[in-house]
Each structure stands twice: as structure tokens, then as C-alpha cells.
Copies of this chain bind each other. A is one copy, B any other.
């Protein structure tokens, strides 16, 4: 690992916090300078534009979200348990966040949806991956007779992500983990009463 790669990683780590807290448009390179302790020349040596840094920061942040979901799935063997574990990871964005500012995917989705087509493409790709994770777990659960065969996995993924991201939004807004907990509770009940065999 060269020094440059180390610095690049460090910039990304700090940038994730800044961008996810203030928003991409509202964050300035000066903010990144202050967060990293580097001067402009030192930052632009690693990223050719604010946009490129934004994307790198988003990829990093969304990678963490996806990684935690993947880890949660792997920690359980039963599909129902996997789904519960998966949902629970969303609590971390409030209780034990890997970075400040709430869920990076939610933030990026809301900021880019009608404003930044290119960024939106990246968010769509990440959201597709998150949805795919849930869809996969549900389908595997159906195969293994752990989840009802009538369940629509696409529908499930939508309901899960919508409810969780909505809960994160409320808890981020109110600074109160009650909202995400309610969302988790609701989905957990839904899983056990409607999905589980």
C-alpha cells in the first residue's frame, strides 16, 4: 500500500462523513480540506473533480451498507433469521453508524433523483444490489421451504427497503431511534406472520 493510496483512502473516509452529513451539493472542497487536513493540491492529486470524489465517497459508504447486510445474511442459516438479521442492520445507521448523517443510500437517492442523472444511475445500481440481496434470500427461503411459496420476493424487497429507509429517515430527522425500532418491529412481525412457513 503506497502512501498515495493511503491518503486517497483517508480522503474518502473523511469525505463520506462530510458529504453524508451536509449533502453533496452543499459540501465544498473547503469542507473536505478541513476534514482531511490537506490542501487543495493534495486532494486534487487523487481526485480530478468534486464529482469524482463524491462518487468515490458514495461507493465507499454504500459498500459498507451492503457489506453489513451481506454479513448479516451470512451470520444466519435460516432464511427467516436471515431476513430478520438483515433488517436489523438498518438500526446501525442510527445507533452505531459507520459514518455520520444517516443512511448514505437514502441520502444519495433523495438528493440525486431529480437533480443529478449521473449520480442517480450509481444510486440505482446500489439500490438494485440491496434489493437483489433480499430477493435472493427470499427465493432461497422458498426453495428450502422456510418461506411460503406464494410470497413475491420483489414485493418483499420493496416493502422491506421502503419501510426501513423510511424509518431511518424519521429517526434521522427526530434524532430518536424509536422510529427505526418501530419499523424493525413491524417488519419482524410481517416476516413471522406473513412470510415464515
Report A's interface with B, CB cutoff 8 A.
20-23, 25-26, 100-102, 106-107, 109-115, 120, 123-124, 127, 155, 158-159, 161-167, 169-170, 172-174, 178-179, 182-183, 185-186, 190
Contacts and interface: CB of A to CB of B under 8 A. Distances in A.
6 contacts: A23-B25, A112-B173, A123-B173, A162-B166, A162-B183, A186-B190
Given A100-B114, A162-B165, 6 more contacts: A101-B113, A113-B172, A127-B173, A158-B170, A162-B162, A165-B165
- The 4 A-B pairs with the shortest beta carbon distances in the complex, nearest first, are A162-B166, A166-B166, A25-B26, A110-B110
Contacts of A112: 173
Contact of A115 (B26, B115, B163): B26
A21 B114 contact: yes
A182 B162 contact: yes
A21 B111 CA distance: 9
Copies held by the complex: 4
Residue from A21, A109, A114, A172 having most chain B Cβ neighbours under 10 A:
A114
A109 B173 contact: yes
B114 A110 contact: no
A124 B179 CA distance: 13
A185 B162 CA distance: 12
Contacts of A102: 110, 113-114
Contact of A162 (B25, B109, B163, B190): B163
B173 A124 contact: yes
A167 B162 contact: yes
Contacts of A22: 25, 114-115
Nearest to A112: B173
Contacts of A161: 166, 170
Contacts of A110: 102, 106-107, 110-111, 169, 172
